[in-house]
Amino acid sequence: MSQPLRLGIAGLGTVGAGVVKIVRQKAALLETRSGRKVEISAVSARNRDKDRGVPLSDYGWEDDPVALATRDDVDVFVELMGGSDGPAKAATEAALKAGKDVVTANKAMLAHHGQELAQLAEDNGAVLRFEAAVAGGIPIIKSLTEGLAGNEIERVMGVMNGTCNYILTRMEDAGLSYDEAFAEADGLGYLEADPNLDVGGIDAGHKLSLLSSIAFGTQVNFAGVELEGIGCVSIEDIRQAADMGYRIKLLGVARLTGRGLEQTMTPCLVPASSPLGQLQGGTNMVVVDGDQVGQIVLRGAGAGEGPTASAVMGDVMDIARGLRVTTFGQPAATLKPAPAAKATVAAPFYLRLNLQDKPGAMAKVAAVLGEAGVSIDRMRQYSHDDQTTAPVLIVTHKTTRSALDEALAQMGATGVVSDDPVALRIEEV
């Protein structure tokens, strides 16, 4: 009979407790599906006495996660502490140096140190798996590294932060301002301790950088992700986008071009009838375009105890079955450095301007856009109570962001634009 696969779990928050529950409650199912028992040898957390809703007395306890990672009775170190450095990184490195396999949900650590950790795993005959780090319960890592391994990936795109999607959905459904929807999400416990990780696009940017590495065979380059959060989006933008048949999403898009790796995580307009446009609440979605498979869409819960613990256990079960896959789908030494590149694929853009309510204002704006090579597809002026400024909505024909930025930089010199313009890409899906 095969020897049991013995786990050491560091971090007993929502996800860690969820993993313990699955191992305890699904023991027979796990053994049947993997051909060996899956057991927990020991755990580690900051507070030994906290009630986590699951019995822990059967397991050894280590106050130091590094000690847990190097125990003789641990085959797989499960890192669920979080943080790009500190104890999480130290314990992960200790486990890999000891030749132990590692399963983690830590997107920040991998976004900043993925290349070196992947190489460390290979140097020591270990595997480093991270399905739970991206899009919760959606098996996107496994899809890219295994199911789509015969494809040249052309584009990866998705909504990868449920909190942002919840806020934008509530703004549309309930007519809430951004600040009201933000406060509601905070009250429900959806926001990180540092909310900017969510609404600033950082959390989702971490995830996009990891998907890019797998999809395009490049070294992880989080620093190359263009980030723009959802704080610029107003209820007026939500309503006006809906009037035109669009919805606004915090959308990650990655492409590898001859100029380098394009990675953007910004608010975009998508067709309301598209799968991304139909995505509601805290759900995540990842869209992959492959040269052989065409477009595939994966949708599911992006966070929470059950979905994320499910993803952790998917990696654990692969290890139990003897499936050993390199961290980013190919040997770490073959991952190419990819210089960051500005997005050059032309697209239409949505512009919201507050113009001085006086003759000739729109003509000046149109002239600035024209001089930059940006043409207007359609325009609307909305009713307003303010007698000094008028809200104007412009949708451009396809243009590049660099051309649009050139025009926006000249807007202030016209003397007719009040406030900073809002510019959002309209993404074809």
- Which active-site residues does the annotation give? 207
Residue 136 and residue 158 in contact, taking contact as beta carbons nearer than 8 Å: no
Query: Nearest Cα to 225, choosing from 129, 111, 143, 332?
Result: 111
Q: Burial of 115 by CB count in 10 Å (0-12 exposed, 13-18 middle, 19+ buried)?
A: buried
Residues 314 and 135: their CA atoms lie apart, in Å, by: 14
Residue 128 and residue 96 in contact, taking contact as beta carbons nearer than 8 Å: yes
For the range 144-150, what are the long-range contacts, defined as Cβ-Cβ under 8 Å and sequence gap of 24 or more? 144/211, 144/214, 144/215, 144/288, 144/329, 145/214, 145/325, 145/326, 145/328, 145/329, 146/325, 148/288, 148/290, 148/293, 148/296, 149/329, 150/292
Cα-based torsion angle of the residue sequence 313, 152, 426, 136 in order, rounded to the nearest 10 degrees: 0
- Listing DSSP states for 240-306 in one string gives HHHHTTEEEEEEEEEEEETTEEEEEEEEEEEETTSTTTT--TTEEEEEEEETTTEEEEEEEE-SSHH
Cα-based torsion angle of the residue sequence 286, 289, 290, 292 in order, rounded to the nearest 10 degrees: 120
For 49, residues 6+ apart whose C-beta sits below 8 A from its C-beta are: none
Residues 119 and 126: their CA atoms lie apart, in Å, by: 10
User: Vertex 129, ends 324 and 14: CA angle to 5°?
Assistant: 140
Query: Nearest Cα to 337, choosing from 261, 263, 264?
Result: 261
Q: Show the tokens assigned to 20.
A: 């313990």
Neighbours of 419 (CB within 10 A): 11
